[in-house]
Amino acid sequence: MGLIVQKFGGSSVANAERVMNVARIVTDTYKKGNDVIVVVSAQGDTTDDLIEKANEINPNAAKREMDQLLTAGEQISISLLAMAIEKLGFPVISLLGWQAGFNTNSIYTAARIKNIRPNRLQAEIAKHNIVVVAGFQGINRYDDLTTLGRGGSDTSAVAIAAALKADKCQIFTDVEGVYTADPRKVENAKKLKEITYDEMLELATLGAQVLNNRSVEMAKKYGVELEVLSSLNPVPGTIVKEVAKMEKMLIRGVTKDKDVALVSILNLQDTPGIAFKIFSKLSSKNINVDIILQSIGRDGTKDLVFTVSKDNGPVAVELLEDMLDNCTIKCNTEVAKVSIVGAGMESHPGTASKMFEALYESNINIQMISTSEIKISVVIDAEAADRAVSAVHKAFIPNEL
């Protein structure tokens, strides 16, 4: 008995049958004597469809208007789920983000939660209502609706669990937990019993969409233990927490990220301060730079190569063309980043060479490499990304696990 936050993603509420299935999971939890707050995403591909509708009319629409539109998706699913719970004979109320007290900053389409005013949620719980909250949305100080960025409902759920000190935060999705690679793409991907916040944060940031990276960041900050599990198959999922049993694993997972553009500046003047000028210009335009590679100077020039998100590639090139002379600037969007993540690699020399060997044996060329204590990333041709993930996964994850 306690307060349980349960979050259901788009595929878990995709149609009437799935909504009834979720209503049963939620009411079973309530019947056991728990208070339940449910966070839901928009049904199926609703958010993608709404974005497409907007693009048909105005691809450069104001972000404020995008948020007005996108919040509609979650409004549909909360009311339908509340109707389903009502049909099963349980007390329920649905709340939009602002009604549930979600205050955010004003970065439309990528807002951050500032705080949650808990009064309404607490009052509804006190009345023994099951509370169904629209994920992915909040309100800013101008009383405008905002959204938290794609996949943001995970963060809504964790924020409620943190604000109300819930006993559990369960993230229900369309796979049975967090796997060593995307189980839809890699045949022998294994479900993990446990994973640490830090490892999960790297996996989520490097492309494993099963959890939104901000939700993991927030869970770590407030010590919210997460359970990722299936809404369709009632089996134990994956626990995300501070310390996880190592299960004799060198790495926890392999991911790929295709949202990468590689910008190269060739024959750049080799003068002090040039890197500062370039990267401060990019950051002043909110362009996030990921991996950076610089060649040794020769004959007064050098090459500088870095990665940004795909959208930002052409924007970065335009900015650089305006500020630099006598060099060649190129942008390649046909690249992907493949990464391995695991705290186990810290104490195991040879992890990187094992990854490179797997890529070499598959005849895949590495264009850039970046490492940290618990991850190694390589940039390769986009066309080879799936092959690379499978080859690296095979090299690291034993079949008997």
Out of ligand ASP, ligand ADP, Mg ion, none, what residue 108 binds, judged by CB under 5 to 8 A for its kind, is none
**207: contact with ligand ASP by CB under 6 A:** no
Cβ at position 41, least distance to ligand ASP in Å: 3
Binding flags for ligand ADP, 341-370, as an x/- string (CB under 6 A): ------------------------------
Count other C-beta atoms under 10 Å from residue 317's C-beta.
Answer: 18
Q: Which of 21, 27, 41, 94 binds ligand ASP (CB under 6 A)?
A: 41
Q: For residue 9, state whether it binds ligand ASP (rule: CB under 6 A).
A: yes
Q: How far apart are CA 152 and CA 132, in angstroms?
A: 16
Interface map 136-175 toward ligand ADP (x if CB under 6 A): ---------------x---------------------xxx
Residues 149-208 that bind Mg ion (CB under 5 A): 151
C-alpha span between 68 and 89 (Å, rounded): 33
Q: Which of residues 288-327 bind ligand ASP (CB under 6 A)?
A: none
- Cβ proximity to ligand ADP: between 30 and 172 the closer is 172
| Residue 136 binds to ligand ASP (criterion: CB under 6 A) | yes
- Partner whose binding site includes residue 75, from ligand ADP, ligand ASP, Mg ion, none (CB under 5 to 8 Å by kind): none
Shortest separation between residue 49's beta carbon and ligand ASP, angstroms = 10
Tokens encoding 91: 């007390």
178 interface partner picked from ligand ADP, Mg ion, ligand ASP, none, CB below 5 to 8 A per type: ligand ADP
Query: Minimal distance in Å, beta carbon 268 to ligand ASP?
Result: 38
44 in contact with ligand ADP (CB under 6 A):
no
- For residue 103, the cross-strand partners are 115, 139
Q: Which of 3, 9, 249, 377 binds ligand ADP (CB under 6 A)?
A: 9
The structure tokens 């305006």 sit at: 322
Q: Compare residues 134 and 391 and give the one whose CB is closer to ligand ASP.
A: 134
Please choose which of Mg ion, ligand ASP, ligand ADP, none residue 210 contacts, taking the beta carbon within 5 to 8 angstroms, the exact cut-off set by kind.
Answer: ligand ADP
Q: Pick the closest to residue 258 from 387, 375, 380 (CA basis).
A: 380
Please return the burial class of 266, using the count of CB atoms within 10 Å of its CB with bins 0-12, 13-18 and 19+. Answer: middle
Distance separating alpha carbons of residues 311 and 331, to the nearest angstrom: 11
Q: Which of ligand ADP, ligand ASP, Mg ion, none sits in contact with 136, Cβ below 5 to 8 A by type?
A: ligand ASP
- The footprint of Mg ion on residues 95-154 (CB under 5 A) is 151
Distance separating alpha carbons of residues 67 and 170, to the nearest angstrom:
26
Rg (CA), the chain: 23
CA-based nearest residue to 153, from 278, 10, 267 = 10
Nearest to 385 by CA among 334, 310, 342, 345: 334
Query: In the complex with ligand ADP, which residue's Cβ is closer, 302 or 337?
Result: 337
**Tokens 């210009």 appear where?**
281
Rounded to the nearest whole angstrom, what is the least distance from the CB of residue 13 to ligand ADP in the complex?
Answer: 9
Cα torsion 240, 242, 247, 252: sign: positive
90 binds, among Mg ion, ligand ASP, ligand ADP, none (CB under 5 to 8 A by kind): none
Contact of 174 with 13, CB cutoff 8 Å: no
Which is nearest to 81 in space by CA: 89, 93, 73?
Answer: 93
- Run of H or E residues at 109: none
For CA atoms 327, 333, 334, 340, the dihedral sign is: positive
Q: Does 138 bind ligand ASP (CB under 6 A)?
A: no
Residue with smaller CB distance to ligand ASP, 135 or 342: 135
CB of 134 to ligand ASP, least distance (A): 10
| Strand order across the beta sheet in which 194-196 lies | 92-95, 130-134, 35-40, 3-8, 168-173, 226-230, 238-241, 194-196
Q: Which residues bind ligand ASP (CB under 6 A)?
A: 9-10, 41-42, 47, 73, 135-136, 150-153
Q: Which residues bind ligand ADP (CB under 6 A)?
A: 9-12, 41, 151, 173-175, 178-179, 181-184, 208-210, 253
Q: Which residues bind Mg ion (CB under 5 A)?
A: 9, 151
